[in-house]
Amino acid sequence: MKTIIEPFRVKVVEPIKMTTRDEREGYLKDAAYNLFLLKAENVIIDLLTDSGTAAMSAEQWSALMRGDESYAGSKSFYRFEEVVRDIFGFKQVIPMHQGRAAERILFSVMCKQGSIVPNNTNFDTTRANIEYLGAEAVDLPIPEFYQPAVNHPFKGNMDTAALENFIKRVDPERIPLVMVTVTNNSGGGQPVSMANIREVKAICSRYGVPLYLDACRFAENAYFIKLREAGYADKSVKEIAREMFSYADGCTMSAKKDGLANIGGFLCTNDDQLAQQEKDLLILTEGFPTYGGLAGRDLEAIAVGLEEVLHEDYLQYRFASIRYLGEHISRAGVPIVQPPGGHAIYIDARAMLPHIPPLQYPGQALAVELYREAGIRSCEIGSVMHAEKYTESGEEMPSAMELVRLAIPHRVYTQSHIDYVVEAILQVYERRTSISGYRIVSQPKFLRHFTARFEPVDELTEILRVRSNHGKQIFLQN
């Protein structure tokens, strides 16, 4: 059969509240045009994230009942530890309530003021946790990563020549670890090849620097390797995942993605001494090292989810569904990051809305428009999320790319939902020249995209607008 179907049946349904365009206009105003501030019940198709939004399987729901809620040494922890060790292969497995908790604890133990952490591309929470400690997060992806229209089978790769030059240029003592994020979420959900991980490891070994994987989407990355890298077609996704982790000294993991769980994560390492320091910190803020801020039942759901995500019929269907969305909109002219990613399609808002200057946030404008048009919630990954940087004269610097991510939650939406999304995007694309930009009216110091408040740029107001931000003067040009 040519048709690839959802390899599951629906057992429980959750009704979707349908809304009108007028209602959505009101919800947008109430949320200050920040889609994170919408009430989820007012969203028709929620593509904000694939994180923590998965539908659990019958096996996971059954596993919840097995949850052992003992404070210390619960059976659920040992089941969880066994599954994680089997796939990831690390000696020490420390549960965490989610990925950023693992990041905070890892960097608190390994980094200090002045440390530098190179990554293919730091995710926003990774960067924020590093910078919060007075350390620096550096992105070293291959050049193709910054060219949305360019096809590359492993566009998430790290630029290994740049990494080696970088380590040589700054003292390796200042680099407590190198990270590789699989898949590379910030610019397309693009995979990293096994060859690239191996090369990064070789460089790290030469300079005595540990390598960690940000493993959030490890199963999708492993499946891309199976499909695209010579020598892996006959290996199972699990074998490929094990090989990926065999080159690393540890990993951070958000089980909210490829753990198919609604909450949870973990931190792994082969270094017993480091693990002890990490567990000491864990007790301070997360909980005892056999639950790490999770209920026993959560550990059970993750243990089952980690096995299920490796099923190849599931990954085949997931990739087919995401590719379908990408191909249908790009065939009609919508510019997207090519090729389609493992968990999402990213629209290139800079290319689609060239009349909106970067600092009027074309990605935000497009995300707002998709909600207005059809109640679809997506996520800006551009100057709102990344540009909290300023030139010496105090001007905000735009991000390298202005993207809108349509992340597909695991096992939640069917083919007709995807068709609805395609239709909405094409309608917005038709009237793209009439869409205008936004400005930020208030924002917090870190991770501003979650809570910043926006207003539409009124084309009739003055050309040059001056406002104060972080005590600096920011100029937004119409």
Per DSSP, the three-state class of 304 is helix
User: Do the bridges between strand 211-214 and strand 178-181 make them parallel or antiparallel, or are there none, so unpaired?
Assistant: parallel
Whose Cβ is closer to ligand F0G: residue 349's or residue 457's?
Answer: 349
Question: What minimum distance in Å lies between the beta carbon of 136 and ligand F0G?
Answer: 18
What six digits make up the tokens of 261?
């769980």
The answer to the question of residue 121 lying near ligand F0G (CB under 6 A) is: no
Q: Which residue is nearest to ligand F0G (CB)?
A: 99
The window from 120-128, 222-230, 334-342, 365-373 that contacts ligand F0G (CB under 6 A) reads 120-128
Residues 6+ apart with CB under 8 A from 429: 329, 332, 333, 334, 352
Question: What minimum distance in Å lies between the beta carbon of 93 and ligand F0G?
Answer: 16
Whose Cβ is closer to ligand F0G: residue 372's or residue 405's?
Answer: 405
Whose Cβ is closer to ligand F0G: residue 185's or residue 399's?
Answer: 185
User: Do the bridges between strand 379-381 and strand 403-407 make them parallel or antiparallel, or are there none, so unpaired?
Assistant: antiparallel
Question: What minimum distance in Å lies between the beta carbon of 20 and ligand F0G?
Answer: 28
DSSP 340-369: P-SSEEEEEHHHH-TTS-GGG-HHHHHHHH
Among 34, 42, 51, 338, interactor with ligand F0G by CB under 6 A: 51
The window from 68-76, 123-131, 150-158, 352-360 that contacts ligand F0G (CB under 6 A) reads 123-131
Whose Cβ is closer to ligand F0G: residue 131's or residue 395's?
Answer: 131
The window from 118-126, 226-234, 321-329, 418-426 that contacts ligand F0G (CB under 6 A) reads 118-126
Q: How many residues bind ligand F0G (CB under 6 A)?
A: 15
Question: What minimum distance in Å lies between the beta carbon of 460 and ligand F0G?
Answer: 36
Question: What minimum distance in Å lies between the beta carbon of 100 and ligand F0G?
Answer: 3
Tell me how far CA of residue 12 lies from CA of 8, 55, 57, 58, in angstroms: 12, 10, 10, 10
Question: What minimum distance in Å lies between the beta carbon of 142 and ligand F0G?
Answer: 17
Among 80, 123, 166, 454, interactor with ligand F0G by CB under 6 A: 123
Whose Cβ is closer to ligand F0G: residue 118's or residue 437's?
Answer: 118
* Contact flags string 249-268 toward ligand F0G, x per CB under 6 A: -----x-x--------x---
Residues 272, 115: Cα–Cα separation, whole Å: 22
Whose Cβ is closer to ligand F0G: residue 164's or residue 214's?
Answer: 214
Question: What minimum distance in Å lies between the beta carbon of 225 and ligand F0G?
Answer: 17
Among 126, 221, 330, 399, interactor with ligand F0G by CB under 6 A: 126
Per DSSP, the three-state class of 87 is helix
Question: What minimum distance in Å lies between the beta carbon of 425 and ligand F0G?
Answer: 19
Whose Cβ is closer to ligand F0G: residue 57's or residue 252's?
Answer: 252
Separation of CA 404 from chain center: 12
The answer to the question of residue 279 lying near ligand F0G (CB under 6 A) is: no
Question: What minimum distance in Å lies between the beta carbon of 259 and ligand F0G?
Answer: 9
User: Do the bridges between strand 136-139 and strand 116-119 make them parallel or antiparallel, or are there none, so unpaired?
Assistant: parallel
Burial class (CB in 10 A: 0-12, 13-18, 19+), 320: middle
Tell me how far CA of residue 300 lies from CA of 80, 87, 251, 311, in angstroms: 6, 16, 20, 18
Whose Cβ is closer to ligand F0G: residue 68's or residue 214's?
Answer: 214
Residues 204, 421: Cα–Cα separation, whole Å: 43
Question: What minimum distance in Å lies between the beta carbon of 181 and ligand F0G?
Answer: 5
Per DSSP, the three-state class of 190 is strand
Q: What is the dihedral of CA 371, 423, 405, 55, to 10 degrees?
A: 90
Residues 76-115 that bind ligand F0G (CB under 6 A): 98-100
Per DSSP, the three-state class of 477 is strand
Tell me how far CA of residue 192 lies from CA of 74, 330, 378, in angstroms: 36, 23, 24
The answer to the question of residue 119 lying near ligand F0G (CB under 6 A) is: no
Q: Cβ of 36: how many Cβ atoms within 10 Å? A: 14
Whose Cβ is closer to ligand F0G: residue 74's or residue 125's?
Answer: 125
Tokens 């992340």 label which residue?
407
Residues 183-222 that bind ligand F0G (CB under 6 A): 185, 214, 216
Q: Cβ of 458: how many Cβ atoms within 10 Å? A: 11
**b/e 145-183 (16+ beta carbons within 10 angstroms → b):** bebbeeebebbbbbbbebbbebbeeeeeeebbbbbbbbb
Residues of this chain that interact with ligand F0G (CB under 6 A) are: 49, 51, 98-100, 123, 125-126, 181, 185, 214, 216, 254, 256, 265
